[in-house]
Amino acid sequence: MTRNGPDVVEALPQVEVDAPGAPPGCRRRLVETARLHWSVGDGGDPADLAQRFLAAHGIDRGDLTRPGRHDSDAGVCGAALYLSAAAGAYTLGVSPGAPSPAPALPDLVVVVYHHTDRPASPPPPAPAPWRLGPWQDSWTPAAHAAAVAAVRDAIARGDVYQVNIVGHAAAGYTGDPLPALARLAALPGARYGGTLHGPGWALGCASPETLIAVEHGRLVTRPIKGTRPATPAGRRDLLTSAKERAEHIMIVDLERNDLARVARTGSVRVDELFAVRRWCDLWQAESTVSAAPADGLGLADLLRAVCPGGSVTGAPKHAALAHIAALEPVGRGASMGALGWVGPDRLDLGLTIRTAAADGNLLHLWAGGGITWDSDPAAEVAEAAAKAAPIRALLAG
């Protein structure tokens, strides 16, 4: 675990913050004042570490029912927060699975920013030319299909109802990966588009999915399940697919249960069910589940309740995580975790689907989907490829 906390704001370099959820009016006038890196091997509770580190640097989210005030003219603005899928599994006492293929990337990152009125720093020198090599998948289509079949066998035994299976690919590169990763935010539908980086690593996100946010005093999650090509026929097929609707409703029920653990009794509701929205050239089904936070609910308890996200694990969550750990050939790295912003007055974390990461001389990308009894292995392999295709194309840039 590493911590960094310079004391003199005026001595720090100004940065343009690209983390999802950062206040738009502040992004060009911030300085980094403190940073926490933690990995699963360090021990401890990452959710508690994050809450205590934030509080020590002026962002007290120990009671989410009592928001603070964001002053854009002085003081602390907020913090970028990233929590990996492995860290989420760790907090549940479940195996995080195979080692990450991007070991330089921490499992928890918190970066605190303060406002500054100093002139902007000069632009960095032009990066070396960007070149991306061929992608190498961590499993073959046949191995991916076999994992789908194994989940169907587990469903037949009554072990699980649904398991999300994720594949990984890596490509060598030369040049600075950060500008390439930053391009992901421009993909249509990338509600949580942005980047985060540190020594020897960087990640770029194009996620459309809300893992957890606080909106108008309510906890909100927007699970996405169900995918079709963004054509009129694809939209009709998604809306009428019994398989996709069943898969989706299982996850909505799981999210209702997750929120109920930290909500006022009787306050959980489904505000919108199976709305079809577009991400790049795909239609996806999204629902909105919300709840009133329990009295005294803090950030740590909320993270423990919702991480890792239900839409990228399965149902029941603990059993699904055990199957994920057994079936996926490499760890999920930067994918299927949480990334967003925590401020005195706001909390908005996206789920890191459609996310790539750089580590050393390799660029990494993950994609997958939820498996139910009605899943066709070949179709699931094709769906994962369709989700990865726009990101691969943009990174090749």
Give catalytic residues, as residue numbers.
209, 225
Cα-flanking dihedrals φ and ψ of residue 53, to 5°?
Answer: -65, -45
Count other C-beta atoms under 10 Å from residue 131's C-beta.
Answer: 10
Rg over alpha carbons for the chain, rounded to the nearest Å, is 20
**How many angstroms separate the first and last alpha carbons of the chain?**
35
Q: Do residues 106 and 64 touch, judged by C-beta distance below 8 A?
A: no
C-alpha distances out from residue 156 to 139, 244, 248, 339, Å: 24, 18, 19, 35
Helical spans, DSSP H, in 295-343:
299-306, 317-327
Distance CA 302, CA 18 (A): 24
Six token digits for residue 228: 């079709």
Site of tokens 């720093």: 121
Amino acid 352 reads T
Whole-Å CA distances, 370 to 163, 224, 272, 373, 376: 6, 10, 20, 10, 11
Q: How far is CA 13 from CA 113, 114, 305, in A?
A: 11, 11, 36
